[in-house]
A = this chain, B = another copy of it.
Amino acid sequence: MPHGKKSPTIYDVAELAGVSISTISRVLNSPDKVNVKTRKRVMEAIDRLGFVPRAEARAHALQSANRIGVLTPFFTAPSFVQRFRGVASALSKENYELVIYPVDSVDHLQGYISSIPLMRTIDGLIIMSLSLGDQDAQRLSNNGMETVLIEYSHPKLNSILIDDEYGGQMAAEHLISKGHTLLAFLGDIEPPEKYAIHPVKSRLQGFKRALREAGIPLSEPYIRSVPYSQEETKKAAHELLTLPTPPSAIFVASDIQALSVMKVARQLNIRVPQDLAIIGFDDIDVAEHVDLTTIRQHLDESGRLAAEILLARINEPSRPLQHINLPLNLIERLTT
């Protein structure tokens, strides 16, 4: 229905219906407070003009935007995407918009953190896998910006964590139970970005500890710290697998890197799992496609939970903070 000029405002509707704007606003927001006949007349006017309230105006008056934000690095990495899926699914029931703030530098992060809570452009914030200074956390909390942290925690904010160290232990125990004695580890232990978190380090610790307790050595050459880049991962995997005495099993601290390791093994004609067992971490979607054994960390669930907690707190700010610990599961497939 092409119509020439500007879109109608609440004033136009009021005029057409012969009532005041207050009444229009009421039929929109609390219909039961207006007389049935008037309501009907107003509805007709609304339909006739195709009126839709301008969201910004509403947000301005209401001081709330029905919008929640997600602050995240690498927002297109599979594991992050799956968390998003969880967030989106929780949000789709309610009437919230989802806005994404991709973070790819400390400045970015700082900028967002310092302005977002004051701009009030969103009602709540989910921060994924980003380390947050105490100052910043305080700021969010003080400014009343409801926030939930994933993979990080702070006493003043909600958080959802997993036990990375235990995950590493699970990987070790699984490999040990399969009879392996010469193991290796590959993962991004030290992300160069200052704003990133270090869950991988914990996974390695758990892995090491379990091995130690089982009396199985894990010497330096068998521990490789590699950034997520496919190139570097493949290079490191190659070096590891062409060692004089190559490991018989590898714990790769992220599925995405495990894929690279599998690829290198294929290139080297190393059979998986006969010659080499591989266990990943995350259980991203493709893990199943390629039959990768891995530690599942319920990514979708973490996102959904984060959104739910957020909505709950937004609607009822007096609720207590929540600090949730999500379980991990070993998903055994064909690579071990």
Contacts and interface: CB of A to CB of B under 8 A. Distances in A.
Interface of A: 1-3, 7, 50-57, 59-60, 63, 65, 67, 75-76, 78, 81-82, 84-85, 88, 92, 97-102, 104, 114-115, 117-121, 135, 138-139, 142-143, 230, 259-260, 262-263, 266, 286, 288-291
B99 A97 contact: yes
Given A88-B102, A259-B290, A291-B266, A143 B7 contact: yes
A99 B98 contact: yes
Contacts of A104: 92
Nearest to A290: B290
A263 B81 CA distance: 23
A118 B50 contact: yes
A120 B56 contact: yes
Nearest to A143: B7
A118 B59 CA distance: 14
Contact of A119 (B53, B81, B119): B53
A75 B88 contact: yes
10 contacts: A7-B117, A52-B114, A59-B59, A75-B85, A76-B88, A92-B104, A97-B101, A260-B289, A263-B290, A263-B291
Nearest to A141: B2
B289 A119 contact: no
B56 A121 contact: yes
B52 A56 contact: no
A60 to B, nearest CB: 4
A3 to B, nearest CB: 7
A302 B43 CA distance: 42
Nearest to A64: B56
Contacts of A266: 291
Contacts of A262: 289
A99 B99 contact: yes
Contact of A76 (B82, B101, B142): B82
A54 B92 contact: no
A118 B7 CA distance: 7
B65 A76 contact: no
Contact of A54 (B78, B119, B138, B286): B119
A60 B63 CA distance: 12
